[in-house]
Amino acid sequence: MKQDRILIIGAGGQIGAVLTEALREVYQPDHVIAADLRALSPQDGPTEILDALDGAALEEIVKKWRITQIYHLAAILSANGEKNPLWAWDINMRSLFNVLEISRQRQLAKVYFPSSIAVFGREASHHNTPQYEVLIPETVYGISKVAGENWANYYYRRYGLDVRSLRYPGIVGYQSMPGGGTTDYAVDIYHYAVQNKPYECFLSAHTRLPMLYMPDAIRATLELMEAPSNHLSVRTSYNLASMSFTPEEVTASIRKSIPSFKITHKPDFRQAIADSWPASIDDSAARADWGWKPEFDLDTMTVDMLKHLEVQYRNEE
Ligand code: NAD
Ligand code: AKB
């Protein structure tokens, strides 16, 4: 087992909950500290209550557990951020600065900070959006991710801090619920389908967005963090791709297993956000530098999602 001591901030979120479990399989479980604003279930390893805006509290936890790596997942996502832009900016940026500063001061070995396809805006190429593309995001969330990527790059070049980052597409998983994003429909839709409920989608039928299944997202994160530093040519954030689909296509995929599934569309403010994002992503830098290769496509993801959710809902009865 690896000896590093890991702090995950935002461990109670959609990705954090699954990443914590995965890290506890690679590292000693009691060396993987799960932290969030609210108390987390302590059954599989240590937990801390932490507001990442509190730099002194963060420092205490880093010292207490002799942390060597931080995974900083806490953020306000695209849709929630638009409801209160200054609040979202404050949380996303101030928490990142606290993480970068403590990591620099205590010379931590590595830091992980996820970015997003939200860094792109309508000026970027819509299809196969390249790694190095004009970045004019239209949400406060996207602006904070562009700024965060540049600060990550700055800390790497100026201080040698080994910060690594991926631009996740929308993440789909059965283990946890998403928290206020524009791609959330692609998780919700499966929950409605397995419960035989009709789903009202907040995006139009033809809105194509890049998506990634949770097991691929977790593997990509672990592989990036394991890659030799001198293989990494991108120190802002790597484009990462797997599949792209529309609500109409995911509905067709679900209907292969649940033919009676019904969907209607009532686009809301999230439609404009989705329209400003790419339909597909060019991730050739990630493939070339550290061997990224996704395993799941839309249909294999659908089969796996439905299988797991059916068990979950059956167990709840
Ligand atoms: P989420 O909203 O599900 O989880 C975020 C977690 O951070 C929550 O548990 C929340 O309580 C916690 N948090 C918020 N403010 C905090 C604070 N001040 N201190 C400590 N914890 C705080 O988000 P997620 O979907 O798990 O996303 C994790 C990261 O991945 C984010 O940085 C997000 O931008 C990025 N990302 C996610 C997706 C996706 O589709 N889920 C896509 C692209 C990028
Ligand atoms: C969101 O929709 O805000 C996130 C993301 C793609 O960053 N899922």
Ligand nearest to the CA of 75: 1
Q: pLDDT tens digits, residue range 95-122?
A: 999 999 999 999 999 999 999 999 999 9
Residue with tokens 């691929």: 216
276 lines ligand 2 (CB under 6 A): no
Question: What positions carry a catalytic annotation?
Answer: 141
Whole-number pLDDT of residue 273: 98
Residue ranges in the chain whose pLDDT is less than 50: none
- Residues contacting ligand 1 via CB (< 6 Å): 9-10, 12-16, 36-37, 50-53, 73-75, 77, 91, 95, 114, 116, 168, 170-171, 178-181, 183
Residue-level pLDDT at 44:
83
Phi, psi of 200 (to 5 degrees): -100, 110
Where are the chain's structural domains?
6-170+212-239, 174-210+243-316
CA separation for the pair 281, 128 (Å, rounded): 4
Q: Is the pTM of this model over 0.85?
A: yes
Residue 253 is encoded by which pair of tokens? 């995929």
pLDDT for 17: 96
| Fold type of domain 174-210+243-316 | UDP-galactose 4-epimerase; domain 1 (3.90.25)
231: which residues sit within 8 A by CB, 6+ positions away?
A: 289, 290
**pLDDT for residue 316:** 87
Q: Which residues contact 252 (CB under 8 A, 6 or more apart)?
A: none
* Residue 9 · residue 52 · CB < 8 Å: yes
Q: Is there a contact between 172 and 305 (Cβ–Cβ < 8 Å)?
A: yes
C-alpha of residue 168 to centroid of ligand 2, in Å:
8
CATH of domain 6-170+212-239: 3.40.50.720
Check pocket membership of 137 for ligand 2, CB cut-off 6 A.
no
Residues 96, 99: Cα–Cα separation, whole Å: 5
